[in-house]
Structures are given as C-alpha cells and as structure tokens.
Amino acid sequence: MCGIGGYFGSRVISPESVGRMMAALRPRGPDAEHSVHWSLDLEPTSGAAPNGLLHTRLAIVDPRPQADQPMVNDAGDIWISYNGQVYDWAADAAALGVQFRTHSDTEFILRAYERWGIGCLPKLRGMFALGILDLRRRLVYVIRDRIGLKPVVYSHRNDGFAFASTVRALLPWLPRDARQLSPEGIDTYLAHRTILAPRTAFARISRLPAAHYLKYDLTTGDLTEHEYWRPEASTEPWLTTFDAAVRMRTVADRPLGLFLSSGIDSSVLASRLAAQGFSGMRSFTASFPGTEYDESTEAWLTSERLGFPNNTIEMPTELAKDFDQIVADLDEPFADPSAVPTWHLARKTALHVPVVIGGDGGDELFAGYKRYRKHLRTRWRRAVSLPSLQRPSHFANRSWQRLVEELRLDWSSAYVLRFSGLMPRERLYLEPDMAPRAHYWRMPPKNGAADLNTLLEIDRLNYLPEYILRKGDLCTMAHGLELRAPFLDDRVFNCTLGLPATVRFTVPPKKFLSGALAPSVDRGIFSRKKRGFNPPIEKWLAVDLAPRLPGLGTRLSNLTLGQLEGPRVAAFVREWSRDSKRLSEQLLLLLFLDESLRQLAAICALA
C-alpha cells in the first residue's frame, strides 16, 4: 500500500507545492518516498517542473529499495506510481519471458502494460489505484480497481491534469484561485455522510469511480473516462475460489494479522486461514467493555479454538483528544461514527503488523443488512407517489417524516434514505438557497426489477466503494496499515452472483457460509444479533464535542459561503437539545463538516 500522485501539463509546479503533496501522502507510505520530474518537452529534469510522478511506499512485498517507486521499465519510457496489491500474477509474468529485477507486483504491472498496453487490466487481480506514464505514446493512464478498495482523485484543467490518492494531496497542485468548494459536493455529504464519486468537496477535483480508468493525452490535453469491468455471474465453485482468494492475500514479506470480531465474515476468514495452516497469525479485536456492542469474548473464543493469538484492543470512549486528527485522516467530510473505533483499532494494530486481513464485503455479497429486508417489504408502494417537497420555513423533527419522504421517490431511490445523513426536507431547510437533489447515488438502469439484486447493485455502485471501503482504506492507511479483503476478490464476487438465490439469500442471512466455518466455531453465530461498531455518540456530543456547539451555525455559514444558513443551523442544534437521540448522528455530521472544512480552508490558504 502506498500514496500516489502525478501531474502533467504546461504549468510549472514549485518544489514547495510538491513537498506539500508528498507530506499529505506520507502517512500512507512511511517506508520510502521518491519523485521524478520532466520538463515541458518531457525530458528528465530536477527542481520546478510541469510534469512529475510522486510515490510514498509502504513496503510489504519485496521491501528492498530496488522495488521502490516510481518505477521505470528497462527502456526508460514507461513509468508507474502504484498503490495496492495485485495477486496471483506469477504465471502471467512467466509468459512475458523477461528477466525481472524484483519480485514485486509493481514490476509485473509495469511489464504487463509494456507488453499488452491497457489490455493488461484483465490480468490484474486485486486492489489498486495506479498511474502509468507512457512516453512512447504520450499518454497517461489512471486506473481504479474493480470494486473500489483503493481511492484516486483527479483534476483536469486547460493547463494540465493531476491525480493523487487523496484530496489533500491534490490540493497543492491547484492554483489558489481554483480551490473553491463544490456546493453540490457539500450537499452530497449532507445527504449521504460521504461524498460519492465522481464528486469531491471541491469543484475542480473529481473522484474516479470503481472499475474505471482515465486516459490523458499529453499532446492534446484531452481526458476520457472508460468503464472496464462489470460483475458477471460465474459457475466457479465458491469455496474453492474463496480459499484461493484468502491464500493469495497471505503473500507478504512482512508479518500479517487478522481483524477478528464475533461476526460470521471474520469467523469464516479465520476458519479458512486455519484450514490452510495460518493458525499462528495474530488476530485483533475491538473491545467495548460494559456495552451491548462488546464482542471481544466471543472473538477470543473463536481465536482460541482456531489457534490465533488474540489481541483485544479496548476502544476509548472519549473523542476530544483525537477528533482533529481523525477528521484530518478522513481526508474530506466523512461522518461514519464507526470510523472512530476503526481508526483506533488500526492505530493499535499497526504497532504489531503492517498488513491485516478483514471481512469487508460479506454483507453486500450475502444481503446481511436488515435494511434490505425492510425495503423489500415496501414493494407494494411502487405506484404511490406524493407531490414534490416544498421548502420548509421552520425545522420540524417528526418520526413519520422519513416515510413521507420515501413516498416522494421511486422505489429504488427511496432505498437510499434507509442509510442517509440529513433527509431532503432537512437539507432544504438548512440550505435555503440550494435546490438539492433527493440523492446523489449512481443508480442501475431504470428497467431494473424491484428486487434484492437491484438493492445490492445500488450498494455495489455506491455504499460499498464510497463508504465502507473508503472508511477502511483511510482509517488503516492513516497508520501505514494495509487492509486486504478476500470477500471482495472479483472472482469471488462473480461466483457469488452465480449462486442460486435460495442458496445465497437465507433467513437468517449468510447460512450458505456455514460450510466454510471450522467445526469448532459455534453455529449459533448465525442467530446471534448483528453488532457493529456503535460508539457513544450522545456522550461525545454532551461532553467531548460540546465546546464546539456554540457558534456552529456562524462557522458553517462562513466556511460554506452561506450555503448553510447560520440561524437555521442554530435552530437545528436547539432541536437536538430537545430530542438528542433522534438527531445525534445528524448533529455529529455537522460537527465533522465544520472541522473538516476548517482544515481544508487552511490548506487552501497556502500559496
């Protein structure tokens, strides 16, 4: 795992700006950092330059300096800056018939592109965000993996093109007068707690969707975007495919660990790792002592039965001390409360291992969330449609408003409201001069059936890459920790789609996975109530973040140039004080926005 960046065009970038870009990438790659630069006519140069590739490295496979990046081919005309891990490439490497200088997957991608061009993408199995500079054809490619485990953002202007792992690493490339916030990006955050591809918080920065690549022509300055993959059902045997995906993700030249909860997905991972002889791997469990969410005892029992030395990591209940840093590590506005314990778990885990295997993706593959079943029960109202929402003049918080707002949308769009930030009515109130959309999720074709597969496809396009996986990437990479997710191997994804619906979708969910569990694991796991990372939000707001509440409306109005109206935010805070449980997550969302925009404004003010 690493931090990547690159810029190309006619505008010379100062060494100070490049230094700020590298500094923003550094937490993602603490082991090495390098940059290379080219003049306007693409000749190698040093100092200020209009073209460059940047890289900060977390060295997991072949940690020798020979495998550092940016990496170049033997002819010196193809360069790569790459973040991720590609698996199972040895056979394709042998077919190339060339002598490798390293045993890194970076060199494989570089040589595969040299031989097959962009046609090498089907040979890349894993997670990746990468930039390739092809001096032979005067092209730059920027590519994001199929499921969206690795992030990449970019900016395209008349004077050039740039990309980076994070928004904060790309901002220094933009001139100061081009660093304006995106009103639509801010509204997207208010609607969804995150800013979904292709938007970011900034008008001149975009996010590349999963399974897409960009092609930038260095001669014409033209930029095109291409989708290169969509999931297709496969008849490969599921457990065989999954075991192969797990085994591939144990390849490393440094120690590995396992995120282990009491849930089905991580228990399946532990079972398959144990079956393949990896019982000595250390496992790491988040503990919430004295709460109904604590699952450390069950996780410890699983680790004992399977032979994994377990580290139980107690989650702090206070937030004030780490709040600013957590917001910074989340890059731009992002308000999943579970990001806080995820960040703490990653920080402690990184003290022991630089790589960890996790169970992300199981719920999206096997319909593990309760919201799927709840929304399917509303298919009767597909023909029901209420009039458009009128702009409210006062804030009102009523339990029935969500249902009313669902009935204003078509059935598929209404599903979005089952996992949302502020309701459309609440956003209309807080942003009186905006005309916000009901939602900003990318949707499947309109002819999609009103069924579970449609809901899962909506999540594949949106919730999975831009919420779950972004949280996992940002919280782990903030501490130089690589997170691998076997459930999200693209072949596992495809053969899961190939399972009969009666096998894949069960009550309770995921009973199909019982055959993947070790005999010693308690089968009661399938009837156990699902427990997530549920931090003490009310306590945070009443104690840790309480000093931030006075003046919140004025600050947000100033930071958003009036997009959020100060007195209306203040009215929202007063409503929360009268009914704290109903609006706690929404108020936390506003506090995350306040601190994130404050930090971003400070970055934008730099020359």
Domain extents in the chain? 2-227, 238-368+460-526, 383-449, 537-604
**Where are the extended beta strands (E) located within 94-240?**
125-134, 139-144, 153-157, 160-164, 206-207, 212-217, 223-227
Q: Convert the pLDDT of each residue in 445-488 to its tens digit.
A: 876 678 999 999 999 999 999 999 999 999 999 999 999 999 99
Is residue 397 very low, low, confident or very high in pLDDT (cuts 50, 70, 90)? low
Question: Does residue 261 contact residue 299 with C-beta atoms inside 8 Å?
Answer: yes
Residue 351 buriedness (CB in 10 A; 0-12 / 13-18 / 19+): exposed
Phi, psi of 383 (to 5 degrees): -90, -5
**Where are the extended beta strands (E) located within 445-535?**
482-484
Phi, psi of 185 (to 5 degrees): -65, -40
Q: Which residues contact 249 (CB under 8 A, 6 or more apart)?
A: 85, 87, 357, 484, 486
CB atoms within 10 A of CB 338: 15
Amino acid in the structure at residue 288: F
Q: Convert the pLDDT of each residue in 554-586 to its tens digit.
A: 999 999 999 999 999 999 999 899 876 678 999
Is residue 513 very low, low, confident or very high in pLDDT (cuts 50, 70, 90)? very high
Is residue 399 very low, low, confident or very high in pLDDT (cuts 50, 70, 90)? low
How many Å apart are CA 443 and CA 438, to the nearest integer?
13
Which one is predicted more confidently, 529 or 458? 458
- pLDDT for residue 579: 73
CB atoms within 10 A of CB 571: 16
Is residue 400 very low, low, confident or very high in pLDDT (cuts 50, 70, 90)? low
How many Å apart are CA 486 and CA 152, to the nearest integer?
21
Amino acid in the structure at residue 123: K
- Superfamily assignment of 238-368+460-526 in CATH? HUPs (3.40.50.620)
Lay out the sheet containing 125-134: strands in order across: 71-72, 78-87, 125-134, 139-144, 212-217, 223-227
**Where are the extended beta strands (E) located within 118-266?**
125-134, 139-144, 153-157, 160-164, 206-207, 212-217, 223-227, 256-259
Query: What is each CA distance from 64 to 75, 335, 484, 520, 580, in whole angstroms?
Result: 22, 38, 22, 41, 54
How many Å apart are CA 478 and CA 325, to the nearest integer?
10
Strand partners, 4: 55
Q: What is the DSSP letter of 181?
A: B
- pLDDT for residue 41: 94
Is residue 522 very low, low, confident or very high in pLDDT (cuts 50, 70, 90)? confident
- pLDDT for residue 291: 80
CB atoms within 10 A of CB 519: 7
Lay out the sheet containing 160-164: strands in order across: 44-45, 32-38, 51-57, 2-9, 160-164, 153-157, 206-207
- pLDDT for residue 345: 97
- pLDDT for residue 407: 81
Q: Convert the pLDDT of each residue in 46-104 to its tens digit.
A: 989 999 999 999 999 999 999 999 999 999 999 999 999 999 999 999 999 999 999 99
Question: Does residue 490 contact residue 232 with C-beta atoms inside 8 Å?
Answer: no
- pLDDT for residue 533: 67
Reply yes or no on whether the pLDDT at 530 is more than 70.
Answer: no
Q: Convert the pLDDT of each residue in 30-45 to its tens digit.
A: 999 999 999 999 999 9
Q: Convert the pLDDT of each residue in 351-388 to its tens digit.
A: 999 999 999 999 999 999 999 999 999 887 765 566 66
**C-alpha 524: how far from chain center:** 31
How many Å apart are CA 264 and CA 68, to the nearest integer?
38
Query: What is each CA distance from 335 to 152, 217, 551, 586, in whole angstroms?
Result: 19, 37, 20, 9
Closest CA to 80 of 91, 90, 69, 88: 69
Is residue 258 very low, low, confident or very high in pLDDT (cuts 50, 70, 90)? very high
Closest CA to 518 of 296, 259, 275: 275
Query: What is each CA distance from 545 to 3, 319, 430, 484, 535, in whole angstroms?
Result: 31, 8, 21, 33, 14
Closest CA to 397 of 256, 584, 524: 584
Q: Convert the pLDDT of each residue in 261-272 to its tens digit.
A: 989 999 999 999
Q: Convert the pLDDT of each residue in 309-344 to its tens digit.
A: 999 999 998 999 999 999 999 999 999 999 999 999
CB atoms within 10 A of CB 447: 5
Q: Convert the pLDDT of each residue in 120-166 to its tens digit.
A: 999 999 999 999 999 999 999 999 999 999 999 999 999 999 999 99
- pLDDT for residue 388: 63
- pLDDT for residue 184: 97
Closest CA to 585 of 337, 327, 315: 337
Q: Convert the pLDDT of each residue in 418-438 to its tens digit.
A: 888 998 889 999 999 998 888
- pLDDT for residue 390: 62
Q: Convert the pLDDT of each residue in 174-220 to its tens digit.
A: 999 999 999 999 999 999 999 999 999 999 999 999 999 999 999 99
**C-alpha 329: how far from chain center:** 12
SS3 44: strand
Question: Does residue 527 contact residue 263 with C-beta atoms inside 8 Å?
Answer: no
Reply yes or no on whether the pLDDT at 393 is more than 70.
Answer: no
**What architecture does CATH give domain 2-227?**
4-Layer Sandwich (3.60)
- pLDDT for residue 523: 83
